[in-house]
Amino acid sequence: MAKFANIADPWMVLVFLVFGLIGLKQFINVTNTEITSFGDIWTLAKTQIWKGGEPLPGQVKFTFWHVTFFAWFCNMAMHVGMSDLSVFRFAKRSWYAVASGAGMYVGHFMAWLCASILYAYQLHLDPTDTNVLPGPLAYRAAGLTGLLCVIIAGWTTANPTIYRAGLAFQAVAPKWSRFTVTLITGAIATIAGMFPAIAMKLLGFVAFYGMLLMPMGAVIFVDFWLIKKFGLQSNYAQISKKRFNLAAGLTWFITLGACWWLVWTGRIEIYFVSLPGWFFAAALYIVLSFLYQKKLKAN
Amino acid sequence: MIKQITQIVSWLCLIVLVVPSVLFLTGKLQSLDQVKLVMLITTVVWFVSAPLWMWKEKNQ
């Protein structure tokens, strides 16, 4: 799977770029806009492509800040929640981590810009056609290549997550082979993805599971990079032969509880809560470690 | 030698993949169907030629 992803990657990035170029030209044609300078493109973008409007029923109105935060944090579970480590443990150099950043820029800025041009074009042709269907959008812009790109992009994006989920299931059922659990996980995810009721809730769902893993990412970061600077012990559960690090556990549950309360009471939207939540979890873990490690040492 | 040829072919494919859409945007190419056809051909050639050197490099 990883081998195939390596080959698909440069091709896929360029096909995404092509989506944007073709979509832009289609907009120019359909609006009879004359482009003589970059300013004309900017005007077209502001007045025809990204002109705003009311959200679909049941969806949150996305502002510039929603998009910015979401671009950075929709993969929070992986990059901040540290589930990327399940793949990066095989990295031969530390700088391989820039792959995450590079992927975010290409996938969450360039590809989203291009995809939004295609969707805006669809709405321009028929304002009642609000279906968010990547396949038909891609096919209209780039034919079979576009369709192939959507399928491969979905597959290669899901691969590491399915692998990680497989590892997690394997931890629950160690006797199952990794191949079996990965296959079952992939099948469940595929079937779930076929239902629009689930797929259309993706935005809220990724924000939620990012929030779910965020505190543990802060714990891992602090435990590896910072905790010794405070005179505390890293990997404390392992060294003190405990099966459960209470400081880490409490940090997780308290942070989640606080974030959930903020979202539930409408004080902050779920898309924005995880960034301050990370700093809260990091500080809380240090404070709780002071208390926890001191108490165990005293005993 | 074969590896170098496949490398050149595959990199050329990536360039040719984008060029028609740039020409389409600038108005030098009018037919979107032609753009789609070129993209499909370069896609096929890329997926045939790239593994010949990319997978070989990984195995070394």
C-beta separation of B7 from B13 below 8 A: no
For the cut 70, the answer to whether the pLDDT of residue A294 exceeds it is yes
Q: What is the value of pTM for the model shown?
A: 0.82
Report yes or no: B58 at the A interface, CB cutoff 8 Å.
yes
Report yes or no: A145 at the B interface, CB cutoff 8 Å.
yes
Of B14, B22, B25, the CB nearest to A11: B14
C-beta separation of B6 from B53 below 8 A: yes
Report yes or no: B47 at the A interface, CB cutoff 8 Å.
yes
For the cut 70, the answer to whether the pLDDT of residue A297 exceeds it is no
Amino acid at A15: V
Query: Closest-CA residue in chain B for A143?
Result: B36
For the cut 80, the answer to whether the pLDDT of residue A216 exceeds it is yes
Report yes or no: B36 at the A interface, CB cutoff 8 Å.
yes
Name which of A3, A7, A36, A149 to mutate to probe chain B: the one with the most chain B Cβ atoms within 10 A of its Cβ: A7
With cut-offs at 50, 70 and 90, classify the pLDDT of residue A106. Answer: confident
C-beta separation of A212 from A256 below 8 A: yes
At A64-89, the pLDDT tens digits run 888 888 777 777 888 887 888 888 88
Residue A233's alpha-carbon distances to A238, A248, A282, A283, in angstroms, are 10, 13, 15, 16
- Element containing residue A6 per DSSP (H, E): helix A2-31
pLDDT of residue A197: 77
Q: Which chain A residues have a beta carbon less than 8 Å from that of B46?
A: 7, 11
Query: Closest-CA residue in chain A for B45?
Result: A11
Mean pLDDT calculated for residue range A132-160: 90
What three-state secondary structure class fits A248? helix
- Element containing residue B27 per DSSP (H, E): none
pLDDT of residue A177: 86
Name which of A25, A44, A114 to mutate to probe chain B: the one with the most chain B Cβ atoms within 10 A of its Cβ: A25
Report yes or no: A243 at the B interface, CB cutoff 8 Å.
no
Q: Report the candidate in A284, A162, A282, A269 with the shortest Cα–Cα distance to residue A214.
A: A282
Q: Rounded to whole angstroms, how far apart are CA atoms A205 and A104?
A: 18
For the cut 60, the answer to whether the pLDDT of residue B60 exceeds it is no
pLDDT of residue A66: 85
Burial of B43 (0-12, 13-18, 19+ CB in 10 A): buried
Higher pLDDT, A189 or B35: B35
C-beta separation of A156 from A9 below 8 A: yes
Q: Report the candidate in A249, A215, A217 with the shortest Cα–Cα distance to residue A80.
A: A217
